[in-house]
Amino acid sequence: MAESKDIREKLEKIRRKALELGFEGFGVAPPDVAQAGDWFRQWLAQNFDGEMQYMKRGEAKRLDLDLVLPGVKSVICLSTSYFTAPRTLEFLERPETGDISNYARNMDYHDLIQPRLRELEACLAEVFPGCRSKSYVDTGPILEKPLAEKAGLGWIGKHTNLLTEGVGSYYFLSEILVDQVLPPSEPAEDHCGTCTACIDICPTGAIVAPYVLDSRKCISYLTIELRGEIPREYRKALGNRIYGCDDCQIVCPWNSYAVTTEEPAFQEREGVKGLIELMQLNEEGFRSRFRKSPVKRIKRRGLLRNVAVALGNSGQTEAVPALSQALADPEPLIRSHAVWALGELLGKKALEVVELRLSGESDGSVLNEVERLKTV
Ligand code: SF4
């Protein structure tokens, strides 16, 4: 009994330190993912992970936390809010600007959260001398949402994000695995009830059943994870979303309770938002605009691919010069999406511009796009 009181006091010390460091949610889960593992295997078997090879590569570790930290006894789950201002679907009424997911509007969260995790690990080592730990913030193979649910941080909603009563879902998850037995928290309960708002709003129908996401259809996957061509069938649905999509979270009633964070690193950064200007970014311009942002992950080629699609959807014929200029871009991915966008804005007339600019074109995907334009 005295031992259990002692460990609870030590855990409380760790919890206080976590809050001091800026984490908002704190809970402890046992390192058991058996049930979630079955679900994960079924999800992979249906290829819902698309081209995210790291999902299959990390399967064994995701299913057995002992492979990540031998002797693991507990997982400390943490959340960090990035919610800076109420979010609506009004961005759809400004098709000349690109919409970037809430979490990616300023600093890369890894750069903020990783040092905090290290500090918390140092505190753990002080409180539990000799204890070993391993931390992740989207940096390794771990079933973070089922663990966070067990740790009482929130429940996995029908949109497959974690959400919390009184907090919503705009937060990052991170974890510290420890080889120390800690008292587990009370698991969270599902409060989605009969609501289907996230399923109904999804522009591409990516939530194929409650709690099941087909990533291959998800706009976050298509604009961030996918490296190659965006399948034509989804391009219109992208609208003006150029990095991620928050629609399922925007309509979630629980997010009307979300409390904003004062964290300066997540306040929206001023900068280029106009699609035409973005389409004209060269390497140097891209680096200087997105150097510290999560957007740098998709590189200039990925961003300009997305921007071209958004311009194609914008109805702005003022974008024609920038898209025509993009036909000379050294990156075929940008050229092929620029051809599509010009076709959307000008119809068959786009062929004149395209054939003139691409007379020496040899890339297969660009030529395919030109051929398709002839059939419009
Ligand atoms: S929108 Fe409704 S169904 Fe979807 S996660 Fe929120 S509460 Fe659950």
* CATH code of the domain covering residue 336: 1.25.10.10
Helix axes of 332-346 and 350-357: crossing angle, nearest 10 degrees = 160
Q: What is the distance in A from the centroid of ligand 1 to the CA of 251?
A: 8
Provide the pLDDT for residue 64. Answer: 95
Whole-angstrom distance, CA of residue 295 vs CA of residue 287? 10
162: closest CA among 174, 176, 148, 142? 148
Which pTM value belongs to this model?
Answer: 0.94
The answer to whether 258 and 170 are in contact (CB under 8 A) is yes
**Domain C-terminal end among 119, 146, 178:** 178
CA–CA gap between residue 268 and residue 53 (Å, rounded):
31
Locate 252 and state its tokens. 């979630």
Can you give the pLDDT at residue 97? Answer: 96
List, as one string, the DSSP characters of 69-96: STT--EEEEEEEE---S---SGGGG-TT
Select from 178, 195, 215 the last residue of a domain.
178
Cβ of residue 159 lying under 6 Å from some atom of ligand 1: yes
User: Is 161 inside any structural domain?
Assistant: yes
Residue 138 a catalytic site member: yes
Mutate to test the pocket of ligand 1, among 192, 199, 207, 212 (most ligand atoms within 8 A of CB): 192
162, 201, 254: residue to mutate for ligand 1 pocket, most atoms within 8 A of CB: 254
Residue nearest ligand 1's atom 7 by CA: 192
Whole-angstrom CA distances from 192 to 27, 72, 207, 227 are 21, 32, 14, 33
Instruction: Note down the domain range covering 304.
Output: 270-376
The reply to whether 149 falls in a domain is: yes
Specify the residue with its C-alpha closest to ligand 1, atom 6: 252
- Domain ends where: 159, 178, 197? 178
What number does the ligand 1 atom closest to the CA of 157 have?
5
Q: Is 246 part of a structural domain of the chain?
A: no
What one-letter code names the amino acid at 66?
A: D
Distance 371 CA to ligand 1 centre (A): 43
C-alpha span between 347 and 112 (Å, rounded)? 46
**The residue to which tokens 């009633």 are assigned:** 253
Query: Ligand 1 centroid to 169 CA: how many Å?
Result: 10
Of the candidates 317, 139, 162, 178, the residue with the CA atom closest to the CA atom of residue 249: 162
Of 32, 64, 138, 363, the active-site residue reads 138
Nearest ligand 1 atom to alpha carbon 161 = 5
| 80 assigned to some structural domain | yes
* pLDDT tens-place values along the chain, 376 residues long: 566 889 999 999 999 999 999 999 999 999 999 899 999 999 999 999 999 988 888 899 999 999 999 999 999 999 999 999 888 999 999 999 999 999 999 999 999 999 999 999 999 999 999 999 999 999 999 999 999 999 999 999 999 999 999 899 999 999 999 999 999 999 999 999 999 999 999 999 999 999 999 999 999 999 999 999 999 999 999 999 999 999 999 999 999 988 899 999 999 887 778 999 999 999 999 999 999 999 999 999 999 999 999 999 999 999 999 999 999 999 999 999 999 999 999 999 999 999 889 888 899 999 999 999 999 8
Return the residue whose CA atom lies nearest to atom 4 of ligand 1: 198
If you measure from the C-alpha of residue 221 to the centroid of ligand 1, how many angstroms do you get, rounded to a whole number?
Answer: 20
184, part of any domain: no
Q: Quick check: is 202 in a domain?
A: no
Write down the pLDDT at residue 330.
96
Structural domains of the chain, count: 2
